[in-house]
Amino acid sequence: MAEVGTIGRTYHINVVRLYGFCYDHYMSALVYEFMENGSLNKYLFGEKGMIEWEKLQEIATGTAKGIAYLHEECQQRIIHYDIKAANVLLDANFFPKVVDFGLSKFCNTDFTHVSNTRYRGTPGDFAPKYLLKNDLITYKCDMYSFGMLFEIVGRRRNTIMSSFESLDWFPKHVWEKYEKGKLAEMTKTGGIEEKDRGKAERMFMVALWCVQDSPKARSPMSTIVKMLEEEWPSCCLLNPFIICTQWK
């Protein structure tokens, strides 16, 4: 019912359509438009064939537009809470739509945060500050989760637990390469052709904007859309990992 209450108020080409629902003693069901190609994560992590780079760019931009709509164009701002590749569905033409609003919350557009009493979202995709201070959630946490762009370019999960239970965090590796001016090396491992590596580096840099430690440093999603569409800001990137040393 939480999902019906949220998505029933939305209409955007990059947000999945809810056609109906059933909620009684015999059945609970949500009826969505059919998305023939399933979720994005199946293509990023090897369960299905790879998607060509140009299409991945379109998927990233379309997803950003869907989130921007939730944050900036609805009467009440909608915080999704669980932005990740598994919650981006693809239609027959690989057109992306954001799905799964079971964890979402409303927030008036003139307020910056909503209260939170327990942890929500997916570990590794959620802003680490909210794992430590589990009381206030801002819409900027969705921008942090949109750092799934790292996964799109690298075609690997952002977080991998080693056999010694230590955390291998891909975004931190990307920052280290960026600092050394070797970001192009990270694009090779994702199988990106040389002609597309400049655009892939750009997407890595946009992802670094998304995972800035301070929520104030994260650009609004409408700005992220512009970055993905070739409008780059004049200010410099900050190290997102100085404060969050617990992620080393």
Read off the pLDDT of residues 166-194 as tens digits, 9 standing for 90 and up. Answer: 677 899 999 999 999 998 888 877 678 88
Asked if residue 103 has pLDDT above 90, the reply is no
H/E element holding 72?
helix 53-72
Q: Name all domains of the chain by residue range, CATH numbers in brackets.
A: 2-247 (1.10.510.10)
Per-residue H/E/C for 123-162: CCCCCCHHHHCCCEEECHHHHHHHHHHHHHHHCCCCEEEC
Pair type for strands 77-79 and 28-32 = unpaired
Which residues are annotated as catalytic? 82
Q: What is the pLDDT of residues 192-225, one digit of tens each?
A: 888 888 889 999 999 999 998 888 888 899 999 9
Q: What is the pLDDT of residues 13-33, one digit of tens each?
A: 999 998 999 988 999 888 999
CA of residue 68 relative to chain centroid, distance: 11
| Token pair for 12 | 């955007």
Counting other chains too, the contacts that 27-31 makes at CB distance below 8 Å and 24 or more residues apart are: 30/3, 30/4
- Tell me the pTM: 0.84
Percent of the chain surpassing pLDDT 90: 39
